[in-house]
Amino acid sequence: MHISSSTNGDNDFLVTGVFRPINKPSHVDGRFFMSMMGGDMEQMIKRAGSNLATNNMYYTYLQLKPGANYKNLQARFPAFLDKYAGKELKAMGFSKQEFLVPLIDIHLHAGITQNDISPPGSVTYLYILGSIALFTLLIACINFMNLSTARSSKRSAEVGIRKVLGAEKGSLIRQFLGESVVLSVAAFIFAFTITELLLSAFNEVSGKQLTLTFADNFLTIIAFFGLSLFAGLLAGSYPAFYLSSFKPIKVLKGKFSNSLAAASLRRGLVVFQFFISVVLIVASVVIANQMHFLRSADLGFEKDNQIIVPLQSQPAKAAFTALKSELQKQSPIIAIGGSAFYPGIMNLYDNSFYKQGETMNDAKHTRMNYVDYDYLKTLNIQPVAGRLFSNQFPGDTANRLILNESAVQAIGFKSSADAIGKYVFNDFNSSSNRYEIVGVVKDFHFEDLHLPITPYGFVLNNNNNSYNYMVVHAKQGDANQALAALQTAWRKVDPSEPIEYSFLDSEFQKNYDAENRLASIVGYFTAIAILISCLGLFGLATFSAEQRIKEIGVRKVLGASTVSIITLLSKDFLKLVAISIIIASPVAWWAMHQWLENFTYHVSITWVVFAITTVAALFIALTTISVQAIRAALANPVKNLRTE
C-alpha cells in the first residue's frame, strides 16, 4: 500500500493485518496504523539518536503489571531524565518534565496533555450539562408537588371518608406515593420513546455518535429507570404526607382550608423554579454574546475568503511552485502563500531566542512558522516596524527573522523599532545560530481565543517543496470562481491525487466546537425549563382563579374593572418571579464569570444581560398568568354568585 504523509513522506507499506472497527469512542481513533520504521520518521529517529532533550514529538504507552502503581514509576522519572538528558537540557536553557496519565483519564481531563492525539472532552461541561438536566427534572418534581398540594381540597373528602372507614395513614401515604411513581414510570416509557426518535438530532447537535439499545446500554437504562422511580418518590413525598395528615372530622364538615405552611411552600417552590430558569436565561445570553464575540473578534489577520489547501504528499509539495505560478494568473485570486502552519491549528515548531550578551538561560520560548515570501501578505499580517520578507532581498533566506510584538517584548528589546537590525541567538546541539530581525508584526491570534498571544516568529523556508499548506486569498465575492480556478490548476500540475480544501474562517471556528455545542444544548435546556416552569405557573394561576372566583364576582358587581382584577390575580405571582430574579442574578453572574475565565479574551457581563433576563422572565410569567387572569376577569359574575 502506498501512503502519502506530510510528516512521514511517500512510502510503500506491506499490509500485515486488518482490524474490525468497533462502534465505541476511542482515544486513538485511527483507520490504519503503520510502523514508525520505513519512512521519514525512521530517519528522524536515527538522527535524534539517544538525545532526549530535543525529542518532543512522541507519546509512549505503557502497560503496567497488574497491581502496579503508576505513581511509583512516575517518581523515578526525574532521576532518569537527569541522567540521560540533564546535561543537554541545561546547555539548551530549559527543563522538561515527564509524567504518566491513566488512559481512562485522558479524554475527560482537557489540558492534561497538550497537542493530544484527538481533541479531549471536558469533564466540566459534563458536570454543567448534568446539573442542568437534574435541575430541569427537579423543576418538574416541584410542579407536581405544587399542583398536588394546591388542589388538595379536591381530594380532602376522599381522605376523610377513607379514614372514617378505617384507612391508616400509612396506607394513604403508600397510595399517593404509588400514584406518583406510576406517573413517573409512564413518563419514563414516554421519554425513552422520544429519546429514540430524537437521538439522531441530538447527535448532530452534540457532535457525538450515541446509541441507545438494551444490548449496549442495559445498565444505563436500568439506572435511568431507577432515577424515574426516585423522581416519583421525591415528587410524591410531600403531597403524600400532606394529604394523609387531614383530620376526617374537619374535612367532612367542609372546614378544610389550605394551611399557611403549604401555601408558603408553594411560593418557595415557584421562586426556586424561576430561579433555575433565570440562571439558564442569563447563561444563554452570555454564551450567545461570547460566541458572537469569537466569530467577530479582530484576529490580527485577514481570515475571510482565505482558502486552505493541504499539501499532504511529496508530489503535492513538489507542485507548489508550479501551482502558485498558475494561480497568480487568475483574476479572482489576490495572493498565494505557503507555510508549515496556519492560524488556528497545532504549531509543532518552536525555538528559544536570547539577545546578544545573554545565554540560553535567558532565552524565551517562541513558536515558529516556516513560510514563503508571500505568506504574510496573503494573510494581511501588518508590520509595525521594519518590513516583511521580500524576494527583492535575497539575503532574507539566510536566517532573517520576523517576530511579533510579544516576542520582541519577551526577549527584552525596548520597542519594536529598537529590535530592527538586531540579532538574537539560539543554541542547539552544541552550536549557536544567529538570526537578524528584519521586521516586527502586529500581535495576531495564531491560536484560538482561549489562549493568550505569546511570542511567535517567521523565517523563510528555503525549500519550496516542503510547505505543508498553501493559502489562497480570493477576492470578496469571487470565492466560487477562485475555487474553480484552483481545481483547474491542481488537475493540471498534480493530476494523480484529488484536491482538498477548506476555508480559514471555518477552520479557526472549529476551535470553538465544544462551546458551540454547549450553547445549543443550554439553549434547548433553557427552553424546556421555561416551558415546565410556565406549565406549573399556569396550573397554579388556574387554581388560584378557581379559589377566588366568587371574590372576583363580588368585586365586579361592586364595580371593579377588568384591569384591576387581572392585576389582583397577577401581582402575587409576579412578586415571586421578581424575587427569583433578585436571588438568581448574582448566582448567574458568578457562574458565567467562571465560565468566561476559560477564555483569555472574552466579553464582559454587563447590566444589559440582566435587563434582558428580567424583561424576558417577567414577560414569560405575565403571559402565562394573564391567560387565566383575563379569563377569570371576563367571566360573568352572575353565574359565579348565583349559588350564594
Q: Are residues 453 and 585 in the same domain?
A: no
Measure the CA–CA gap between 515 and 100, rounded to whole angstroms: 28
Based on C-alpha coordinates, what's the Rg of the chain? Answer: 34
Given this model, what pLDDT does residue 519 score?
85
Q: What is the mean pLDDT of residues 228-240?
A: 80
Domain's final residue, options 106, 131, 158: 106
Q: What is the mean pLDDT of residues 44-58?
A: 74
Q: State whether residue 135 is helix, strand or coil.
A: helix
Measure the CA–CA gap between 535 and 529, rounded to whole angstroms: 10
Q: What is the mean pLDDT of residues 208-231?
A: 80
Whether 169 has a pLDDT exceeding 80, the answer reads no
385, β-bridge pairs: 440
Instruction: Choose among 319, 263, 296, 283: nearest CA to 470.
Output: 319
Q: Are residues 483 and 516 in the same domain?
A: no
pLDDT digits (tens, 9 = 90+) for 170-211: 777 777 788 888 888 888 888 888 888 888 877 777 777 777
Measure the CA–CA gap between 558 and 579, rounded to whole angstroms: 33
Count other Cβ atoms within 10 Å, centred on residue 3.
15
Prediction pTM value: 0.76
CB 174 within 8 A of CB 233: no
Q: Are residues 346 and 373 in the same domain?
A: yes
Q: What is the mean pLDDT of residues 446-475?
A: 89
Q: Which residue has the higher pLDDT, 250 or 632?
A: 632
Whether 277 has a pLDDT exceeding 90, the answer reads no
Q: State whether residue 574 is helix, strand or coil.
A: helix
Q: Are residues 506 and 542 in the same domain?
A: no
Band of residue 362 on the pLDDT scale cut at 50, 70, 90 = confident
Q: How many residues does this entry show for the chain?
A: 644
| Burial tier of 559 (Cβ tally within 10 Å: 0-12, 13-18, 19+) | exposed
Instruction: Choose among 171, 300, 302: nearest CA to 240.
Output: 171
List the single range of 231-240, 305-314, 342-351, 608-617 with lowest mean pLDDT: 231-240
- Domain membership of residue 116 (yes or no) is no
- Domain membership of residue 188 (yes or no) is yes
Given this model, what pLDDT does residue 111 score?
59
Given this model, what pLDDT does residue 496 score?
81
Q: Are residues 417 and 522 in the same domain?
A: no
Q: Are residues 131 and 244 in the same domain?
A: yes
pLDDT digits (tens, 9 = 90+) for 314-360: 888 888 989 999 888 888 899 999 999 999 888 888 888 999 888 88
HEC secondary structure over 225-265: HHHHHHHHHHHHHHHHHHHHCCCHHHHHCCCCCCCHHHHHH
The string of DSSP codes covering 470-525 is EEEEEPTT-HHHHHHHHHHHHHHH-TTS----EEHHHHHHGGGHHHHHHHHHHHHH
Given this model, what pLDDT does residue 214 score?
73
Given this model, what pLDDT does residue 1 score?
80
Nine cell digits for residue 228: 424515574
Q: Are residues 209 and 341 in the same domain?
A: no
Measure the CA–CA gap between 59 and 28, rounded to whole angstroms: 12
Residue written as grid cell 382584577:
565
pLDDT digits (tens, 9 = 90+) for 492-501: 888 888 889 9
Q: Are residues 431 and 517 in the same domain?
A: no
Q: How far is CA 576 from the centre of its chain?
A: 33
Given this model, what pLDDT does residue 101 score?
84
Q: Are residues 262 and 343 in the same domain?
A: no
Q: Are residues 267 and 329 in the same domain?
A: no
CB 628 within 8 A of CB 548: no
- Domain count of the fold of the chain: 3
Q: Are strands 431-441 and 456-460 parallel, antiparallel or unpaired?
A: unpaired
CB 552 within 8 A of CB 565: yes
Given this model, what pLDDT does residue 353 score?
92
Given this model, what pLDDT does residue 395 score?
85
Q: Are residues 276 and 228 in the same domain?
A: yes
- Domain membership of residue 112 (yes or no) is no
pLDDT digits (tens, 9 = 90+) for 61-111: 889 999 889 889 999 988 988 888 887 777 776 778 888 888 888 877 655
- Domain membership of residue 117 (yes or no) is no
Percent of all residues in the chain with a pLDDT value above 90, rounded to a whole number: 22
The amino acid at residue 123 is: V
Structural domain boundaries enclosing 157: 123-295+512-641
